[in-house]
Amino acid sequence: MNDKKNGSISGASVETVLTHGGREPSEQFGFVNTPVYRGSTVLFKTLADIEAQQQRYLYGRAGNPTTEGVEAIVTELEGAYRTRLVPSGLAAITIALLSCVKAGDDVLVSDSAYEPGRVFCDGFLARMGVTTRFYDPRIGSGLAALMQPNTRAVLAESPGSLTFEVQDVPALAKAAHDGGARLIVDNSWASPLYHQPLALGADLVVHAGTKMFVGHSDAFAGTISTTEAAWADVERTRAQLGFFTSGDDAFLVARGLRTLAIRMKEHQERALDIAGWLEGQDEVMQVLHPALPAHPDHALWQRDFTGSGSLFSVLLAPAPRASVAAFVDGLELFTMGYSWGGFESLCTPVKLGKNRTAKPWTAEGNLFRLHVGLEGVEDLKADLKAAIDRYAKAR
């Protein structure tokens, strides 16, 4: 616990890592928070210094104390070898994939994965001579049958952030490793507090830090945490592509992380309360939340997760577009927009069309994704109850 190295505290509880990790007040004149370092040029005093390249910082693009503070915390939480802060969650996914492949290689991507990541695979990777195939998120050890000699990366997102299939990370890791590929897991939903894919065999873990880490809908960030074996490829790829996250954004991530544990606890409780309540409401066909006993992957979630996130989907009985509009247009507390993870609740209709190819989405009805924020739970239920009434009436 007293092993404070680069602002990291090993062996401490998650809450202590979040409050004390990644900062060293004695290096900042006693100020509690590492301030925003803004800087490109880092000065060398002598010719010998610039030749030796031994200073802690050489050029701002490789990081500064503000960005490194965030990396130290996430490394500790994920049980990783190291972590890189990158400008967005999407950048975390693209850098992670690029770190694994070269022309002629192949990647396997979960059909439930974040759609812009799929677009990157079908567009950019294809243009670079890398093929992508999509797999059923519930494939588990069946992934082995899809591995080709040139498959170098498997991308999982567990649970998928629209449809909430939980993926069997240990089984995917085994199949990937047996075939000579690395497993990348998008862990944005659970955060490292409730799920640690590296301990289950993953090689790289990515986060949309924009969501729960930042927590206030006011900044973009991503992280890539890796095993020791995967680190050099990730860092080389990031450095060669020139990705750097500003001290200003890093400061907002660090500030969000300080309260991540209590926010996750509150989001979890509220989301579960509302998800369970929704199961008993008119018009509701299914609530897609893996912590509910009725969820098809509940057992897998129980095995591999210690908690659940703010986000889930609800499937309402088939109704025309007018009902969907009546549902969302009249909401007073839930607002509609992309992203999630902030203090405010969101409700967004989900369109699953061309972004499902391996396992097409066939459920009838209208799907809505909810992010449960920090408002009063009863107020949120009243907002949803009124929306359900409008939905039924507009049919």
Ligand X SMILES: *Cc1c(COP(=O)(O)O)cnc(C)c1O
By CB under 6 A, the residues from 220 to 279 that bind ligand X are 220, 222
Clarify whether 211 is annotated catalytic: yes
Q: For ligand X, which is the closer residue by CB, 89 or 197?
A: 89
Among 64, 161, 191, 246, binds ligand X (CB under 6 A): 161
For every residue of 338-364, DSSP letters joined together read: S---SSS-EEEEE--STT--SS-----
Among 111, 157, 168, 304, binds ligand X (CB under 6 A): 157
Stretch that binds ligand X, among 72-80, 86-94, 261-269, 282-290 (CB under 6 A): 86-94
Distances (CA, A) of 153 to 131, 132, 141, 384: 11, 10, 15, 41
- Interface with ligand X includes 312 (CB under 6 A)? no
Taking the complex as a whole, the smallest distance from the CB of residue 333 to ligand X amounts, in Å, to 21
Stretch that binds ligand X, among 195-203, 208-216, 253-261, 283-291 (CB under 6 A): 208-216
Clarify whether 23 is annotated catalytic: no
Angle at 286 between CA 280 and CA 291, to 5 degrees: 85
Q: Distance between CA 79 and CA 198 in Å, rounded?
A: 7
Q: Distance between CA 297 and CA 74 in Å, rounded?
A: 27
Angle at 261 between CA 200 and CA 373, to 5 degrees: 110
Residue 111, strand partner residues = none
Side chain identity, residue 33: N
Q: How do strand 151-157 and strand 106-110 relate by DSSP bridges?
A: parallel
Tokens of 370: 């909810």
Stretch that binds ligand X, among 21-29, 205-213, 327-335, 385-393 (CB under 6 A): 205-213
Catalytic member of 56, 61, 321, 354: 61
Clarify whether 381 is annotated catalytic: no
Site mask for ligand X (CB under 6 A), range 100-119, x = bound: --------------x-----
- Interface with ligand X includes 89 (CB under 6 A)? yes
Q: Distance between CA 365 and CA 249 in Å, rounded?
A: 40
Clarify whether 186 is annotated catalytic: yes
Write out the residues near ligand X by the rule CB under 6 A.
Answer: 88-90, 114, 157, 161, 186, 188, 208, 210-211, 220, 222, 339
Q: Which residues are catalytic?
A: 61, 114, 186, 211
